[in-house]
Amino acid sequence: MDNFHLIEQGSANIPWQDKPEGLTGSPLWRYQDNPVIKRNPLDGVARIFNSAVIPYEGAFIGVFRGEQINGIPYIYLGRSKDGINWDFDGEKIHFEDEDGNPFMPKYAYDPRLVKVEDTYYIIWCQDFYGASIGLAKTRDFKKFVRAENPFLPFNRNAVLFPRKVNGKFMMLSRPSDSGHTPFGDIFLSESPDLVYWGKHRHVMGKTDEWWENVKIGGGAAPIETSEGWLLIYHGVTGTCNGYVYSIGGAILDIDQPSVVKYRCENFLLTPEEWYEERGFVPNVTFPCAALQDKETNRLAIYYGAADSYVGLAFAYADELVDYIKNHSVVRESDQELGKR
Ligand code: BMA
């Protein structure tokens, strides 16, 4: 694609494995040595999955959903030189309130990690009288200060944009119920200060494509490109044996991200490998982060697999955007501003 480019530099040393010869269809391919995080990854934690990573001080740092051996999920910090082999802190992240007092959520899962200006934000799902969104900030990955909960219950799958848009913080989320929500569209909210959120807009809903006909939810932080915001998200279908979570892709308007410019009618990745099909919850591929390298257009996508493992998939950003555009079906509700 002529003139296509990523906007942010990213990092030249992101994990990578060359595209397999003869790859057809979706332009995503899996890391051959998946899963990169296996079961019982640290003492007291049975599984790590649905986790997010970011470049930090020439290496990588991440926030990981660690399912403890009592079944309760919390967020653990991990560090890696290569984005593949991870060292985890033995203790879960200790959050505090703005006065420095301990302020732990009752549980915390599906964290995203996004840098906006000079601060790193963790966004996750937690109990706020039901499933809702938690938000914390850190500058040094030592002190983690929780902010006000951005949204009313019930809500899941929130992820910040990596920069302000029109001077405002922007967050995607998926209003839901407190259980295994059988519905759900992606919405956008904006804030001047990360405390007060408003100007809510509908971004996109489930479709009648069979792989995303029950609900959808945000995944990795949107990636800024010359074509718009590249959104890698999850779409869910229901079967006689339960939900199946696939990875989808869309491109949002750069200045009005509630407007969907292109949306891929096909999934980009669906459970096919043993570590995606078999696990604590079978048939789940759940993206939470993507690393990028502007020079080479490389993307490394981290996804949770079967609520048991972390997998890596790769793509060239230009090929991915091309594929989304070439297989795009946008409905009326996608193209609207999302205000009714
Ligand atoms: C969703 C979330 C995810 C999980 C998925 C499949 O509701 O809880 O954390 O990966 O279900 O179990």
Quickly state the pLDDT bin for 2 (edges 50, 70, 90): confident
Quickly state the pLDDT bin for 218 (edges 50, 70, 90): very high
Tell me the CA–centroid distance for residue 147 and ligand 1, in Å.
24
CA-closest residue to ligand 1 atom 11 = 180
Ligand 1 near 50 CB (within 6 A): yes
Tell me the CA–centroid distance for residue 128 and ligand 1, in Å.
17
Atom of ligand 1 nearest to the CA of 245: 6
Residue 5 confidence (pLDDT) = 97
The stretch 80-109 carries a mean pLDDT of: 98
Ligand 1 near 219 CB (within 6 A): no
Atom of ligand 1 nearest to the CA of 180: 7
The stretch 52-68 carries a mean pLDDT of: 98
Ligand 1 near 284 CB (within 6 A): yes
How far is C-alpha 189 from the chain's CA centre?
17
CA-closest residue to ligand 1 atom 4 = 307
pLDDT in tens, 235-289: 999 999 999 999 999 999 999 999 999 999 999 999 999 999 999 999 999 999 9
Ligand 1 near 286 CB (within 6 A): yes
Assess whether pLDDT exceeds 90 at residue 1. no
- Report the SS3 class of residue 259: coil
Query: Which residues are within 8 A (CB) of 299 and not within 5 positions of it... i.e. 6 or more apart?
Result: 223, 290, 291, 292, 314, 315, 316, 317, 320
